[in-house]
């Protein structure tokens, strides 16, 4: 077997698939059928998907669910979530229902500033560079007018540009640090186009001033510590009572302690924040935004004080329980997949066509709801009881159980703890 291939990108889709199935599978026809089964029957729609990325052979499906009954700033929302993990949508829905009768979720967008940088080196008199920068700063704005015109009409644009001396970090390292407002677009292309023009202007003006600089790269940053949204829930401690919370004061204290552990213990904080991102990423993906960029920025923010820590916080004050988080979210509701992917359009319709700010609020709420559900389980019944019951379907599907077997398995495990080994043993005994 020789797995190397020349000119793969130039092959047709059919040729690519034929090469894959013949090179890697002992039963090429079976592999070919699996690939074909996940094509869209609508040829035009399939072509649209094929053109999202390169070297496409088929579609990889992720379930799209909805979590209803979210009361956010007094308005009811149903939140679409694209995720493959069991219990996430159920947990979010449960939290939504729980808090809807206790005042709902409150949100605030603190800021929407985004960042881009031109990274360059200069081995000379830093004072001369600073004089040049102050002299040509207006040119950075004037020479990007053609790029910023439409954004300015929507109320966005370049906010500021600063020269930063970073020689304490790296020899001869400087940067142009620019801030932007991109309104309802995520703004990556807009920001990068501005930055590349800044770099061109800087190089030309430095050459005219007889200063030698070398531009290394011009690129936006996915770390946006000034593009922050806050989501919170609160109610009197006595109102926390429900099926699994018979002593609300005890529950509130244990809950706060659980959050405090995540604030000081990185091993716990990573899993704690992963739970938040279960909710965040699912909505980011459903609305056609870049969940990798969001993840990178959020986790950098969680480390901003020198140690990785919890994104959420909780307190009891004057008999009131409060649980909140603040996270950076650079999102868009126009451009990119939002205008191309039919399901993204559908999800934005479900959310009643939110602005980028409103989407920040919705996604922060999804993260907080997910975190509340996890911590409520952890501090009461334990997380496995609900999760494994949701996971039961996956185990049943793995063993391709028929309808009669499904009924018997689910009836058996209604009152018995679910574990993979217990389910496997029951299925094996059932089939003997």
Residue whose tokens read 């000119």: 7
Cα 272–chain centre separation = 15
Q: CA-to-CA distance for 374 and 184, rounded, in angstroms?
A: 32
Cα angle 137, 218, 214 (rounded to 5 degrees) comes to 75
CB-based burial label for 14 (10 Å; 0-12, 13-18, 19+): exposed
Q: What is the pLDDT of residue 334?
A: 93
| The token pair that represents 83 in the structure block | 């995720």
Can you name the CATH fold of 114-221? Alpha-Beta Plaits (3.30.70)
281 backbone dihedrals φ, ψ, rounded to 5°: -60, -35
Q: Tens digit of pLDDT per residue, the chain (432 long)? A: 567 899 999 999 999 999 999 999 999 999 999 999 999 999 999 999 999 999 999 999 999 999 999 999 999 999 999 999 989 999 999 999 999 999 999 999 999 999 999 999 999 999 999 999 999 999 999 999 999 999 999 999 999 999 999 999 999 999 999 999 999 999 999 999 999 999 999 999 999 999 999 999 999 999 999 999 999 999 999 999 998 889 999 999 999 999 999 999 999 999 999 999 999 999 999 999 999 999 999 999 999 999 999 999 999 999 999 999 999 999 999 988 888 999 999 999 999 999 999 999 999 999 999 999 999 999 987 655 555 666 677 788 888 888 888 888 888 887 777 777 888 888 888 887
Q: 3-state DSSP call for residue 128?
A: helix
Nearest to 233, CA basis, from 361, 91, 372, 354: 372
Q: Write the DSSP string, 73-119.
A: TTEEEEEEEE--STTHHHHHHHHHHHHHTTT-BEEEE----EEEEEE
Q: What are the boundaries of each domain within the chain?
A: 8-50, 64-111+225-381, 114-221, 386-430
What's the start-to-end Cα distance of the chain, in Å? 41
CATH number of 64-111+225-381: 3.90.770.10
CA dihedral 230, 233, 234, 237 (to 10 degrees): -140
| The token pair that represents 432 in the structure block | 């003997």
412 backbone dihedrals φ, ψ, rounded to 5°: -60, -40
Active site residues: 85, 274, 290, 387
Q: Are 311 and 327 in contact (CB under 8 A)?
A: yes
Q: Are 16 and 8 in contact (CB under 8 A)?
A: yes
57, containing H or E segment: none
Q: Are 271 and 374 in contact (CB under 8 A)?
A: no
Q: What is the pLDDT of residue 77?
A: 98
Q: Write the DSSP string, 284-306.
A: HHHTT--HHHHHHHHHHHHTTTS
> Which residues are bridge partners to 70 per DSSP?
77
Q: 3-state DSSP call for residue 276?
A: helix
Break the chain down into helix, strand, coil percent, rounded to 5.
Answer: 50, 20, 30
């Amino acid at each position: 077997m020789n797995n190397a291939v020349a000119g793969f990108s130039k092959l047709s889709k059919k040729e690519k698939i034929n090469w894959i199935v013949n090179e890697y599978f002992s039963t090429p026809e079976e592999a070919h059928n699996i690939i074909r089964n996940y094509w869209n029957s609508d040829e035009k729609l399939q072509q649209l998907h094929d053109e999202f990325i390169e070297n496409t052979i088929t579609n990889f499906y992720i379930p799209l669910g909805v979590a209803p009954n979210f009361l956010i700033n007094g308005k009811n929302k149903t939140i679409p979530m694209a995720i493959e993990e069991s219990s996430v949508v159920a947990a979010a829905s449960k939290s939504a229902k729980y808090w809807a009768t206790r005042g709902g979720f409150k949100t605030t967008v603190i800021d929407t500033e985004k960042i881009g940088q031109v990274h360059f080196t200069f081995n000379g008199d830093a004072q001369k560079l600073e004089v040049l920068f102050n002299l040509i700063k207006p040119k950075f704005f004037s020479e990007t007018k053609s790029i910023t015109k439409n954004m300015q009409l929507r109320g966005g644009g370049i906010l500021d540009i600063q020269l930063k001396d970073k020689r304490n970090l790296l020899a001869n390292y400087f940067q142009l640090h620019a801030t932007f407002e991109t309104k309802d677009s995520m703004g990556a292309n807009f920001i990068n186009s501005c930055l590349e023009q800044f770099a061109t202007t800087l190089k030309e003006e430095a050459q005219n001033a007889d200063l030698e600089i070398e531009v290394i790269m011009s690129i936006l940053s996915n770390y946006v510590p000034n593009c922050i949204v806050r989501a919170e829930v609160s109610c009197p401690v006595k109102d926390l009572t429900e099926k699994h919370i018979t002593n609300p004061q005890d529950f509130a204290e244990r809950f706060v302690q659980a959050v405090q552990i995540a604030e000081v213990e990185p091993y716990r904080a990573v899993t704690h924040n992963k739970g938040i991102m279960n909710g965040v990423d699912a909505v980011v993906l459903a609305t056609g935004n870049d969940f990798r960029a969001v993840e990178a920025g959020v986790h950098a923010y969680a480390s901003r004080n020198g140690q990785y820590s919890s994104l959420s916080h909780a307190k009891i004050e004057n008999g009131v329980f409060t649980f909140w988080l603040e996270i950076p979210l650079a999102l868009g509701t126009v451009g990119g997949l939002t205008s191309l992917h039919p399901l993204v359009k559908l999800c934005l319709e479900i959310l009643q066509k939110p602005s980028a700010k409103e989407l920040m609020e919705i996604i922060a709420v999804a993260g907080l709801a997910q975190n509340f559900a996890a911590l409520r389980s952890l501090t009461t019944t334990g997380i496995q009881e609900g999760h494994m019951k949701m996971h039961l379907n996956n185990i049943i599907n793995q063993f391709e159980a028929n309808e009669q077997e499904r009924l018997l398995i689910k009836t058996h495990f209604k009152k018995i703890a679910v574990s993979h080994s217990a389910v496997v043993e029951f299925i094996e005994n059932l089939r003997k």
